């Protein structure tokens, strides 16, 4: 019997060190449509950055991430402001994992 695989645990060693992970739910087609519209939008009042971070935060369901001092970061569902504490590289990794770009980047580098 089929079983949807929509929750995926990803290795995040590249930004959080050995053994680190993030577990995320998969994007739905409706969300991809919104992302595509945002990327094509000519709106001057928004570049989509905040909307993108909110979308990422909504899909992170578990992680073992820490700040620069080794303190655990709360899950975005518990404290959405944690997204402001991430480095640009961490946000990029989360974005790539959510959109599937991480897999394409990994296959290109092989």
Residue 95, CA distances (Å) to 2, 3, 7, 52, 88 in order: 28, 25, 15, 8, 11
Residue 14 domain-assigned (yes or no): yes
The pLDDT assigned to 107 comes to 42
Cβ partners under 8 Å of residue 97, min gap 6: 8, 10, 22, 24
Return the pLDDT at 51.
Answer: 85
In this prediction, residue 102 carries a pLDDT of 64
pLDDT score of 104 more than 70: no
Is 0.85 topped by the overall pTM? no
The share of the chain scoring above pLDDT 70, in percent, equals 84
Please tell me which residue, 46 or 2, carries the higher pLDDT value: 2
Residue 1 lies in a domain: no
Number of domains the chain is built from: 1
| 105 has pLDDT over 70 | no
CB 57 within 8 Å of CB 77: yes
Is the residue at 99 inside a domain? Answer: yes
Please enumerate in sequence order all residues whose Cβ is within 8 A of that of 39, keeping only pairs 6 or more positions apart, or say none: 48
2 domain residue, yes or no:
no
Provide the domain limits for residue 43.
7-108
- Has residue 65 been placed in a domain? yes
Kindly state whether residue 66 falls inside one of the protein's structural domains: yes
Query: How distant is the alpha carbon of residue 109 from its chain centre?
Result: 21
Return phi, psi of residue 63, to 5°: -165, 165
Q: What digits encode the pLDDT tens for the residues 20-67?
A: 999 999 999 998 888 787 777 655 556 678 888 999 999 999 999 999
CA of 73: how far to CAs of 45, 79, 89, in Å? 30, 9, 16
Instruction: Determine the straight-line distance between the first and last CA of the chain, rounded to whole angstroms.
Output: 34
């Amino acid at each position: 019997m089929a079983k949807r695989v929509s929750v995926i645990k990803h290795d995040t060693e590249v930004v959080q060190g050995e053994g680190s992970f993030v577990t995320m739910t998969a994007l739905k087609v409706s969300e991809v449509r919104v992302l595509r519209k945002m990327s094509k939008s000519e709106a001057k009042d928004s570049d989509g950055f905040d909307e993108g971070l909110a979308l990422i935060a909504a899909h992170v369901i578990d992680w073992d991430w820490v700040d620069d001092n080794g303190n655990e970061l709360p899950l975005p569902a518990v404290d959405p402001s944690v997204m402001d504490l991430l480095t640009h590289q961490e946000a990029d990794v989360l974005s790539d994992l959510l959109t599937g770009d991480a897999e394409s980047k990994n296959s290109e580098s092989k």
